[in-house]
Structure 1
Amino acid sequence: MAPEPSLSLDNLPRSDMLSAGLPSPPGTSAFLVSKNPNPLAAKVAAVLSTSYSDTEFREALSLLDERAVGNDARTRRQIRLDLHKEVIDSNGVIVDEFGRVAELEQQLRRIRGTLGKLNAGYEDMKTQVVSAHAETLPVLTEAGSLLEQRRQVETRQKVLVAFKAHFIMSDDEIAALTSTAEPADDRFFDSLLKAKGINQDCELLLGFERQTLGSDLMEQTSKHIIFGFQKLFKWVQREFKTLNLENPQMNSSIRRALRVLAERPSLFQNCLDFFAEARERILSDAFHVALTGNASSGVEDPTVKPIDLTAHDPLRYVGDMLAWIHSATVSEREALEVLFVAEGEELAKGLKSGRDAEIWRLVADEGDDETDFNALKALSDLVDRDVAGASRVLRQRVEQVIRSNEETIPAYKLATLINFYRVTFQKLLGIGSNLLNCVGSLEEEALRQFRALVRDRIAALQGEFQHAPSDLGPPSFLHDALRQLEAIVKTYEASLSASEDRESEFENVLTEAFEPFMSGCDNMAKSMEPPNDAIFLINCRLTAAKCLEAFDFTRRRAGHLRESISSEATKLVANQHTFFCDGSGLGPLLNSKATLGGARDDLNKETLGRASQQLDDFLPSALMDAMERLKHLQDAMLARQITEGAASQFCVDFEKLEQAIETKNEAAREADECGLRSVFPRTSAEIRVLLS
């Protein structure tokens, strides 16, 4: 389908253009207008006379192109009608819009009238306000001044109330703090805390220009604090009189009171002194009851078994007394731990602040420094003071037991028992306590008694030291001494020794209870002839070594005894060797100092003949005879070793003699003479066989 031609001026026929009233295209003859006066001709002429360069004409053509209408007869006829219709519709819309504008204009007129009325009312009100303000301005100024003054008064009132609440104590608080009729309860401690706070805050007031108020308040509050501490001090003293330490839940108010009272070290120390004196009397009476079954007032306690009646043995008697003291000390320490260990840091802070506040410290010697409060040390010192009275009674009784004892073993057992408790008390109370010093002195007294009894026994045995037994065995006093020493060693072994080197510690006991008896044996051996002296000493030292070797901490001394036994055994070997040399008749020949390579003038047939005959007579029973000489040596194995050593040495000497004989015998053979072997046929091999 062929496209429909567009509508344009070029496509329109000239007659249509004229009939439509459109301008004619350029170049149209003007004469057409003049020649055709009819309306159509006029219109055509007008169209033809229109310039295409006219803006409005071009815009009209553009509008036609935008409509995209077809270029046909119907469209060309209808286009004018359509255009008029559109114009009419547009004018109708414009008219409607102008109607709305007219309505808005009427509304704006009404608004304008309303605004005029408002402006008039505003001006009227403004006039009235200005007039009223002018009239009320003095009154408002005066009212503002009064309100400002009221605010200042209220602020001052609040400051005064706050000041009184913080710096002024009420009558009830003063009564709770200073009145002895009031108890030392929470109200007292709260009042004391407030008073101390006031006293501390008053230092700030002293920094202002007017210091009168601060100094007056501080003076008044300081008096209240002093009275409060005095009241607390007396209250604590009263409580200490009825305080039950056996109660595991000790009164918390006592702990709190002591913690607060620590801020006054002098009062705190006085309370401790008072408490220590009271507890000392109580424990002394309790110890007296435990000993006798009767109180100090003479009233009998049927629930107690008196130590004086139940402990007949001195060791048990002393042990029961020490056990009671130990039990009381432990109980006292456990009961007082809640006062010092649980509150230790608070007490330390209180004592430090109190010491720093005391005036005398400001003028004290600079070298006199106070040490920090040690809760454990204070606890130990207080416990030590509590048992001081019982310790004195203990010392008197134990000293009496020690002095009345006349037996060595019980004396040492007493010393060991006391040593056990000394170590225990040292761990419990520390070094320097009175109880530890008391028990330590008792231990020294027991050891002195033990040494004195040992010396007395040695003095009593001086007569027995002069005569040795006929069998050369250890004397009876040595057996008794070793039995006693064994009992002492067992007692020491079972004891709780504080020394790490128990062997060195026990040396003192050996020096007292062992060395004198061994020295007595040595003195007895000096009056004996060899080999009896060495045999006697070996027997004594063997017995002593066997006794000491059974214990770890005496093995060093046993080793020394074994060394001395070896030394005496060497002497016996030399003595047995002399016996072999003299009994065999070869002594002069074996002891010759002539060298083997030199000439031996003493080796002749006559001398060797006599020696050979004596040797033959000696050898069959030589070993038995030698063993017989050591029959009193209690260690048969050692006797055999000594004899064999001497025989072996004799054989070595015989070999040297044999070499000298062989040398001289060879020289005689070279000279065709009869050798020495003819009169001395024995060889070293035969000697070894006969003496083995």
Structure 2
Amino acid sequence: MAINGPGPITLPPRDGLSPGPLSPPAPSTPGFGRSSNPLSSKVTTVLSNPYADSEFRESLTLLDERGIGNSAETRRQLRLDVQKDVIESNGEIIKEFGRVAEQLRRIGTTIDKLNQSYQEMKSHVTAAHDATSSTLEEASSLMTQKRNVETKQQLLKAFREHFVLSEDEIASLTSTVETVDDHFFLILAKAKRIRKDCEVLLGFENQTLGLEIMDQTSKNLNQAFQKLYRWIQKEFKTLNLENPQINSSIRRALRVLAERPSLFQSCLDFFAEAREQILSDSFYLALTGTSASGSKDHSVKPIELAAHDSLRYVGDMLAWAHSATVSEREALEVLFVSDGNEIAKGMQEGRENELWQFMADEGDGPPEFDAVKALNELVDRDVSGAARILRQRIEQVIQTNEETILAYKLANLLSFYRFTFSKLLGDEAVLLQSMINLESEALRQFRSLMRDHIATLQGEFQHTPSDLGPPDFLQNSLEKLTAIMQTYDTSLASEGDREADFQPILAEAFDPFLAGCENMARNIRAPSDSIFLINCLLAAKHTLTRFDFAAGRVARLQSTIDEHTARLAESQYGFFRTESSLSPLLDALAPLSDSNKEDVAKVAELDAAQPEALTHASQNLDDFLPSAVMDAMENVKHLQDAVLAREVTEEAADRFCSDFEHVEEMLIYADELVEQEGRRRAVDGQERPSLRALFPRTTGELRVLLS
């Protein structure tokens, strides 16, 4: 039956009533409510079911599927059909459950049979287990033993691989027929590891195995190091240090051999001896162009023939020694130090292994290995042969030299290379000690030649030049000193020590000549002695001023010049006083003060202030003033510094004018006082002559004439 929307629902007729649409129930009346109550309740129940209810919707859908029409017959049969369907469905279900029960009965029978079979099999298994239990236990024991044996085999194999060297490995490690290659070093490293790991075996109660393995491994290691030692010595004989690509195997072998300090040191000694001979022959070839065997090498230009003077000869030899030392150090640095600190580590390990040797020698633990110091020592040993030849040749040059400047230049050149070699090889190198000794010998020769030169000049120290200028020996010494100072200025002396280090040279090359000039000045009358010394000191100052490391000596020279300048100014001042005839008057008035009336009153009573004396002094002053400056400059005409001569004269003249001003003031005050007293004496008819009338010159006139 179809349902279309929520419209009115048509139900089949009931109790013979005609079907009709259902309408919502009308309000019940008292007479009809009781008779229509069942139907209304039914209708209400049906209508109260919401269409959204799933069961109600499914019921309606089921009715649609049956295709039931809305008729009276259908409505009467609907309940019966439904009940019939229910009964049939229940019957089908009962039938199916019967089949299930039948199957369950069959399953139960099968399970019973299975249980019976299981029990039979269990009894058979139990009997079989009882019969084979002993065999299984024996088999299990055998399997366990097999596993233990296999484990022991693996342990034994691992132990042999780790702690035992094979025959081939021992042969490669100890046989001299086998070469020293990477395989050798691998086996050597394995042997060292075995010996170290044997310390673990010695920790067990049974130490026999560990001791036997360690003993055998130590023997193999000793033979291996001996083999390595002999191989290195053989390689050293053909090693070319000039080749930048030095064999890496040699470097590796040296680093390994460092673990045996005694063998390593022996190798170094052998190497040093070989290199010393090679460098000595090379130096001899560079000097003479002839090898040690006597054969000529035309590709070499001999130093002995190329050097034209002694300084060039020594410089070329030192330059060769420096070049050879630098090349040797660079080559050995590649050979011994370039790959880190491996040799130092090997040496330290070897010293710890051979601790008993160092304790017997030094009574203390192994010293710290210094790779740089060891390298410097090895380079120094390599060049020691050439250094001996160098020292002999330079000593010969120093001893045969007779030139003072050349002796100092040689000393300065040796000082330069001493400083260079100290930076290159350290302060304990034998080559550096040779440079120090040669420098000292050159300085001794310089001082000896300088003293001999001074001794030959003793006669010249007695003759003073007529023009009071610097003597020839001083000028020559200053020329030599200039050359020496120019040489020293190019040296490597540090800034703080330059002046102090040069003082001994000044003491030898300058002070004796200046002292000779001072001795000569003692035999000369003043002011010529001061003029002579000032000329000498100015020449010396001019020479030393050009060099900053002589600033202290220049300051002392200037102080001495100022002292003699003051003496010269005092001499010029005395000349003005004496030649002007004012010295008596100046001396008489000097202790008197113009502010003291008693001192002013004494002026007229002084002998130098009497009319005759004043007239004579005034006349002499007038005669002196026109040529006073020229006469005074004539006194210092030999002073080679014209500016200084004028300054000295002007200072003396200014001082003379200051003294004259005091005289003028005292005479003026004395005249004023006499005039006052003269008015009182005018009653007696006495008159007093004016001092200024007798001595009319003024200070202004004097300054103009002396300017």
TM-score (norm 2): 0.86
CA separation in 1, counterparts of 2:660 and 2:44? 167
607, 617, 629: which one aligns with 1:611: 617
Equivalent position amino acid for 1:91 in 2: I
**Aligned residue in 1 for 2:674:** 668
115, 125, 128: which one aligns with 2:124: 128
**Aligned residue in 1 for 2:51:** none
1:339 deviates by: 2.5
- Counting aligned pairs with the same residue, the percent is 55
Classify 1:214/1:510 alpha carbon distance in 2 versus 1 (closer, same or farther; 3 Å). Answer: same
**Aligned residue in 2 for 1:690:** 705
Classify 1:594/1:496 alpha carbon distance in 2 versus 1 (closer, same or farther; 3 Å). Answer: closer
501, 505, 508: which one aligns with 1:505: 501
Classify 1:192/1:662 alpha carbon distance in 2 versus 1 (closer, same or farther; 3 Å). Answer: same
1:77-116 alignment, distance < 5 Å: 81-116=77-112
Q: Secondary structure at the match of 1:301?
A: coil
Task: State whether residues 499 and 505 of structure 1, in contact with CA within 8 Å, keep that contact through their aligned partners in structure 2.
Answer: no
**Is 1:138–2:99 an aligned residue pair?**
no
Equivalent position amino acid for 1:608 in 2: L
Q: Aligned-residue CA RMSD in angstroms?
A: 2.7
436, 440, 454: which one aligns with 1:440: 436
**Is 1:595–2:570 an aligned residue pair?**
no
Q: Secondary structure at the match of 1:449?
A: helix
Structure 1 unmatched ranges of 5 or more: 15-47, 53-57
**Aligned residue in 1 for 2:633:** 627
CA separation in 1, counterparts of 2:173 and 2:42? 112
Equivalent position amino acid for 1:656 in 2: H
1:480-534 per-residue CA deviation (whole Å, 9 max, x = no partner) reads: 0111111111111122324543222222211211111111111111111111000
360, 366, 371: which one aligns with 2:356: 360
1:30-60 per-residue CA deviation (whole Å, 9 max, x = no partner) reads: xxxxxxxxxxxxxxxxxx9xxx9xxxxx9x9
1:309 deviates by: 1.5
CA separation in 2, counterparts of 1:498 and 1:237? 45
**Is 1:646–2:659 an aligned residue pair?**
no
CA separation in 2, counterparts of 1:107 and 1:440? 125
1:61 deviates by: 11
CA separation in 2, counterparts of 1:582 and 1:363? 93
466, 490, 513: which one aligns with 1:517: 513
Equivalent position amino acid for 1:388 in 2: S
1:77 deviates by: 8.6
Equivalent position amino acid for 2:473 in 1: F
**Aligned residue in 2 for 1:392:** 388
Range that drifts further, 607-616 or 657-666: 657-666
Structure 2 unmatched ranges of 5 or more: 1-5, 18-34, 49-69, 679-686
1:628 deviates by: 0.6
How many equivalent residue pairs?
Answer: 644
1:340 deviates by: 2.8
Equivalent position amino acid for 1:436 in 2: L
CA separation in 2, counterparts of 1:448 and 1:344? 46
686, 694, 703: which one aligns with 1:679: 694
1:288-314 per-residue CA deviation (whole Å, 9 max, x = no partner) reads: 111111122212222111111221300
Classify 1:61/1:183 alpha carbon distance in 2 versus 1 (closer, same or farther; 3 Å). Answer: farther
Q: Secondary structure at the match of 1:591?
A: helix
1:229-240 alignment, distance < 5 Å: 229-240=225-236
**Is 1:162–2:168 an aligned residue pair?**
no
Task: State whether residues 474 and 539 of structure 1, in contact with CA within 8 Å, keep that contact through their aligned partners in structure 2.
Answer: yes
**Aligned residue in 2 for 1:288:** 284
Classify 1:247/1:640 alpha carbon distance in 2 versus 1 (closer, same or farther; 3 Å). Answer: same
1:267-282 alignment, distance < 5 Å: 267-282=263-278
CA separation in 1, counterparts of 2:320 and 2:72? 146
Range that drifts further, 492-501 or 575-584: 492-501
TM-score (norm 1): 0.88
**Is 1:329–2:314 an aligned residue pair?**
no
Q: Secondary structure at the match of 2:244?
A: coil
Task: State whether residues 7 and 65 of structure 1, in contact with CA within 8 Å, keep that contact through their aligned partners in structure 2.
Answer: no
Equivalent position amino acid for 2:121 in 1: M
Range that drifts further, 247-256 or 337-346: 337-346
1:305-454 alignment, distance < 5 Å: 305-360=301-356, 363-364=359-360, 368-454=364-450
Task: State whether residues 258 and 268 of structure 1, in contact with CA within 8 Å, keep that contact through their aligned partners in structure 2.
Answer: yes
Task: State whether residues 359 and 366 of structure 2, in contact with CA within 8 Å, keep that contact through their aligned partners in structure 1.
Answer: no
CA separation in 2, counterparts of 1:663 and 1:504? 61
Classify 1:499/1:400 alpha carbon distance in 2 versus 1 (closer, same or farther; 3 Å). Answer: farther
CA separation in 2, counterparts of 1:342 and 1:618? 91
1:339-360 per-residue CA deviation (whole Å, 9 max, x = no partner) reads: 2322341111111111112141
1:135 deviates by: 1.8
Q: Secondary structure at the match of 1:151?
A: helix
CA separation in 2, counterparts of 1:666 and 1:138? 167
Task: State whether residues 259 and 343 of structure 1, in contact with CA within 8 Å, keep that contact through their aligned partners in structure 2.
Answer: no
**Is 1:247–2:250 an aligned residue pair?**
no
